[in-house]
Structure 1
Amino acid sequence: MRRRTRQNLVLAAIVALAALAVVLVVQREQAGLGEPLAVVDTANVTRLRVSAGDKPSRAFERRDGQWWMSEPYRMPAHEDAVARLLAIASATPRQRYAADRFEAARIGLSPPQALLEIGRLRLEFGITDAIRGDRYVRTADGIALLPDRFSGWLLAPAESEIDHRLAAPLAAVTDVRIDGQAHPELVAAWNRVTTSQVVAPEAPAAGAVAVELADAQGNRVTFRVWRRDDGRYLALRDAPALVYPLEEPQMQQLLPAAAGAATATR
C-alpha cells in the first residue's frame, strides 16, 4: 500500500511539474505576443535611410513637420511611402533568436540584403526562411523572423516615393504659362493635379508643350508635356528630371484647347 502511495505521489509530482512547464511556456509566448520588432517613437523621428543591393540609397528627413527625400532626389516625399517604411519597425516577429544562433552569411546578413535606418535604429534584412517565407531581420537585440509583407517597400524605386503633386514643392501655384503664354484660368487645375505614380525620366517627343508654374515668391517649376503612342500623356519635370503620367481627362483641364489639340496630334 505504501509503495502504491509513493508511486501515486511521484506521478502526481510529475504531472504537476509538467503542468507548470506548460504554464511557463504559455506565459512566455503570451508575453512575447504582439511585441514589435523594435520600439520607435515615430512622432520624433527626423531621419530615415534605405539601401538595398545595387539600388541607390534613399534618404529622407523631416523638416517643419513635412518629410522630404534628400537622396537621390531633393523633393517632398510621399507621406504614405514614408509611413510604410516606418511601420516595418512595429511589425510583430513570429520568432526571436540570439544574435549568435545563425551563421550570418547563411541567412543573407553578411552583407545584409537590405538596410533600414530609422533615426538611430538599424534594421538589417536577410533572406527568407524555407518554411513560411519569413524574413530574417537583425537588430541590436538579436535576430527575428518577420512575416515578409514589406520587401516591396524596401525595394521600391526612389521615384515612387516622391510627392505625387506636380506642383510640388511650390506651396501654391499663382502663375501658369503654356508655351510662354499666361493662362490664369488654369491655375486652380495645376494646383490640385496629381499623378498615380512618379517614374524615371524618358526623352520627350518632338514638339512637346512647355509648361511653367510659379508661386507668389517667384519659385518656378517647368515641364514638357506630350502624348505617347499608347494615348497616355507624360509631363517631364526639368529639374529634377522626373516623369508624371497623366490621363486624357486631366489634360483637358491642364492645357488650353489649342495646346491640348496640338499635343494630341504630335
Structure 2
Amino acid sequence: MNARLAGLALLALLVAAVAWQWHADDAQTREYTLTALDPDAVQSIEVELKGLPAQRFDRRDGHWTSPAGPVDEGRAQELAALAATPVSAWTPASGFEAAKIGLAPPLATLVLDGTRIEFGEMTALGKQRYARVAGRVAFVPAQALPRAPRTASLPTTTSTAR
C-alpha cells in the first residue's frame, strides 16, 4: 500500500513538472514571436504601406473579404501570418530614435485584430528589420514586411465573398 501511494505521489509530481515546463515553453514561444495572436484566428486586418492606399480585410465564413472588392486570399493569409513572425530580441522603444530606424513614419503598419505592428528599416547588419509593437522594438527577419498588392497583370487567387 505504501509503495502504491509513493508511486501515485511520484506520478503526480511528474505530471506537475511536465505541465509547468509546457507552460514555461509556451510563454517563451509567445515572447519570441511578434504577437501572441494565432494567425489562423485573426479576423480583421488593416494594412498601410508607404505610398499606397490603406486596405482592410475581414474574415467571414473562412474567406477574406474587403469593402474594396475581390481579395487576394493568399496575401491576406500572409499578412495574418506576420503575427507569428519570430523575434530574435525585444528592446524598449525608448532606446531608439524612431526616425533613425524607419519608424517615424513606419515603412508599413499592420493592425491584426487591434494589435498594431509598425515595420521599419533594416538593421545595420542587414539581415534583420526593426518592428515596433506596444512600446517595444523587435528585431525580426529582414523579409518580415507586408508585401504590396499584386498588380492587375499578375494572376491571383481571389474571393468575391462579402
Inter-CA distance 105–59: structure 2 relative to 1 (3 Å threshold): same
Contact preservation (8 Å) 2:74, 2:157 = no
Matches of 1:32 and 1:41 in 2, distance apart? Answer: 12
Selected match of 1:36 from 33, 36, 44 = 33
Give the CA deviation at 1:149.
1.7
Instruction: Deviation per CA, 1:240-262: give whole Å up to 9, x if none.
Output: xxxxxxxxxxxxxxxxxxxxxxx
Unaligned segments of structure 1, at least 5 residues: 1-30, 171-266
Contact preservation (8 Å) 1:58, 1:158 = no
Q: Which residue of 2 aligns with 1:12?
A: none
Give the CA deviation at 1:34.
7.6
Contact preservation (8 Å) 2:107, 2:121 = yes
Q: Which residue of 2 aligns with 1:100?
A: 94
Which residue identity does 1:164 align to in structure 2? T
Q: Which residue of 2 aligns with 1:81?
A: 75
1:63 aligns with 2:63: no
Q: Which residue of 2 aligns with 1:173?
A: none
Matches of 2:126 and 2:153 in 1, distance apart? Answer: 29
Give the CA deviation at 1:58.
1.7
Which residue identity does 2:84 align to in structure 1? S
Q: Percent sequence identity over matched residues?
A: 29
Instruction: Deviation per CA, 1:150-188: give whole Å up to 9, x if none.
Output: 33x4333475999636xx638xxxxxxxxxxxxxxxxxx
Quick one: higher RCO (CA 8 Å, sep 6+), 1 or 2? 2
Selected match of 1:53 from 50, 53, 58 = 50
Matches of 2:118 and 2:154 in 1, distance apart? Answer: 21
Give the CA deviation at 1:61.
0.9
Give the CA deviation at 1:139.
0.1
* Runs of 4+ in structure 1 over 4 Å off: 31-34, 158-163
Give the CA deviation at 1:41.
3.3
Q: Which residue of 2 aligns with 1:124?
A: 118
**Any idea what SS the aligned residue of 2:79 has?**
helix
Instruction: Deviation per CA, 1:72-113: give whole Å up to 9, x if none.
Output: x312x2332111111111011122101101011111111111
Which residue identity does 2:69 align to in structure 1? R
- Backbone CA RMSD of aligned residues: 2.8
**Taking structure 2 as the reference length, what is the TM-score of the superposition?**
0.70
Q: Which residue of 1 aligns with 2:157?
A: 164
Contact preservation (8 Å) 1:50, 1:115 = yes
Matches of 1:48 and 1:116 in 2, distance apart? Answer: 7
Give the CA deviation at 1:132.
3.1
Q: Which residue of 2 aligns with 1:228?
A: none
1:135 aligns with 2:129: yes
Matches of 1:32 and 1:98 in 2, distance apart? Answer: 19
Contact preservation (8 Å) 1:69, 1:162 = no
Inter-CA distance 81–124: structure 2 relative to 1 (3 Å threshold): same
Q: Which has the larger radius of gyration?
A: 1
Which residue identity does 2:81 align to in structure 1? A
1:147 aligns with 2:141: yes
Matches of 1:88 and 1:112 in 2, distance apart? Answer: 16
